[in-house]
Structure 1
Amino acid sequence: MPVKFKVLQRKNPQDILAPEKFYAAAIADGETDLERLAELISYQCTVTEADCYAVLMSLEHNIIGELNEGRIVKLGRLGNFQVGLSSEGKDTAEEVSSSVIKKNRILFRPGKKMRNLLSTLSYKKVS
């Protein structure tokens, strides 16, 4: 099934006076939550849906805890999670402290199979 996209007109944030251009933007086609993942997994193995859900909840809890400790969380072939930062630039190393951190985010680096998915996707324009 193709990934749906729509066309959006946007300004260039680097040059507000430049004419707007048109861009493709992916459209989500529903959601899958932990309960649904637990159900799907339980159909593929001998573990019950409730057990799968408990494991997924524990996985979430432990990923958060490990990221909070500053660790990279490696989930094998699935990929890796890591905390990333953006900060103001300073002239000297001594001037850099936690107060210059302006943004933080969780980075996900997909594993090989997931990266390869991107090269096999097809797309469908919707209005």
Structure 2
Amino acid sequence: MLKFKIGKKKMSIGKRKGQTLYYAVQEEHPHTSWESVEKRIVSSTGISRADLRAVIIALTDIIEEEVGEGRSVDLADLGSIKAVGIGKMMDTFKEVTASTIKRAKMMFFFRGRLRDLPKKISYEVIKEEHVPHPKKAGKPGSEDTTPNPSKPGGGGVGI
């Protein structure tokens, strides 16, 4: 279950200029540590902790090498991982060069049950005002002290 509190923002442009609007802001969720994941994998599979760590190190090396060469890496039922770059919009054909490509981002594309998981997640709105984390707060004197509630999505997850 994803938990939300209520954020507010005073609009500075548009037909709602001057109006304070309210929206759901996701609260930070609990974190499952690698140590916990590691213990669960070891207990459910019977492989040793050292073997699991060796597999993770080897997988990291393979992903680094393959993605560095421009290939995607298939990770079976989990999905696939690849680097994705996007070019800046230029005025002319001739202006498009390698330097006009924005820095690539690593993207993970989930497969199967994991891809469909968001459809099964439930939501709860806690009727409390969202208090932003201090380093996420707006500039001093700014009316808007909440983080941007909407980020563009896509088929994959940036990592």
Normalising by structure 2, we get a TM-score of 0.64
Match status 1:41 vs 2:47: no
Query: What's the counterpart of residue 65 of structure 1?
Result: 65
Provide the secondary structure at the position in 1 that maps to 2:107.
Answer: strand
CA RMSD of aligned residues (A): 2.4
Distance in 2, matches of 1:66 and 1:30, equals 32
Superposed CA offset, 1:59-94 (max 9, x none) = 123212211111111111101111111221234444
Query: What's the counterpart of residue 17 of structure 1?
Result: 13
Query: What's the counterpart of residue 2 of structure 2?
Result: 3
Provide the secondary structure at the position in 2 that maps to 1:38.
Answer: helix
Provide the secondary structure at the position in 1 that maps to 2:51.
Answer: helix
Q: Rg: which structure is higher?
A: 2
Match status 1:30 vs 2:27: no
Structure 1 runs of 4+ with >6 Å offset: none
Aligned residues: 123
Give identity over the alignment, percent. 28
Distance in 2, matches of 1:4 and 1:67, equals 35
Distance in 1, matches of 2:94 and 2:54, equals 46
Query: What's the counterpart of residue 76 of structure 2?
Result: 76
Q: Which amino acid aligns with 2:86?
A: S
Q: Which amino acid aligns with 2:26?
A: A
Q: Which amino acid aligns with 1:69?
A: E
Distance in 1, matches of 2:125 and 2:97, equals 46
Q: Runs of 5+ in structure 2 lacking a partner?
A: 129-159
Match status 1:89 vs 2:85: no
Q: Runs of 5+ in structure 1 lacking a partner?
A: none
